[in-house]
Amino acid sequence: MRKFGLTNNQLKILAMITMTVDHIGMLLFPRVLLFRYIGRLAFPIFAFMIAEGCSHTRSLPKYLGSMAVMAAVCQAVSFVATRSLMMGIFVTFSLSILLIMLLKQVREKNTPGTRTAFVLALAAVLAVTEGLPKLLPGFSVDYGFIGVALPVCVYAASGKWKKLAVSAAVLALLACYSSWSGQWLAMLALPLLALYNGQRGKWRIKWVFYLYYPAHLAALWLIAAIF
């Protein structure tokens, strides 16, 4: 029986729509900030669903592999189109899943080896997301270390309302860290996430979400180049 609220698929579709609006504004109408404001809803929803995906997947290594492959494809498309060294959201979420995978090992085994691996990975991610951009001009990871940490913190929390509270705290930290005041609008995603009913939905459209990202960016870059 379908529970009241929004399913995983419905929230992801909503995130895809707001993400597309954001990228239309970024690439085609950079002076119209309304597009960027609407787009702030996408990241918190996707991050929350990444944590949910890690909680329910049968194989975290396969989940990480799928995300890493998409990250490589998207970065190749991005570099060809823009020559940019900015690492997109699939890179951010690949790092999140890596940390979640190691955190799960700590929870299950709690040995010196698993704890050391998690701490070293955490330090490496911090170095890549916050240290490397200071050394390599033009390099950055979308949403930085705080963005990587959001799905990890949601995964680590227990229960829907604790996950929402953690999301609110991390999003507030991200907004404080951001140089753009519009980032606070990401908090508006929380009421939508509060409607999440814990169900995936009837449609099996996992790869739609993966493939849509590079496809819509390539289309927008082409439109921007033409006009």
Q: pLDDT in tens for each of the 227 residues of the chain? A: 567 889 999 999 999 999 999 999 999 999 999 999 999 999 999 999 999 999 999 999 999 999 999 999 888 878 877 788 999 999 999 999 999 999 999 999 999 999 999 999 999 999 999 999 999 999 999 999 999 999 999 999 999 999 999 999 999 999 999 989 999 999 999 999 999 998 887 777 777 888 898 889 889 988 988 88
Quick one: angle between helices 89-109 and 112-126, nearest 10? 160
Please answer whether residues 213 and 90 qualify as being in contact, where contact means their C-beta atoms are separated by less than 8 angstroms: yes
DSSP state at residue 195? T
Report the candidate in 36, 45, 11, 57 with the shortest Cα–Cα distance to residue 167: 45
pTM across the whole model: 0.93
- Rounded Cα distance between 122 and 76, Å, is 26
Please answer whether residues 24 and 35 qualify as being in contact, where contact means their C-beta atoms are separated by less than 8 angstroms: yes
186: left (phi over 0), alpha (psi -120 to 50) or beta: alpha
- Rounded Cα distance between 89 and 219, Å, is 18
Both tokens of residue 175?
């907004």
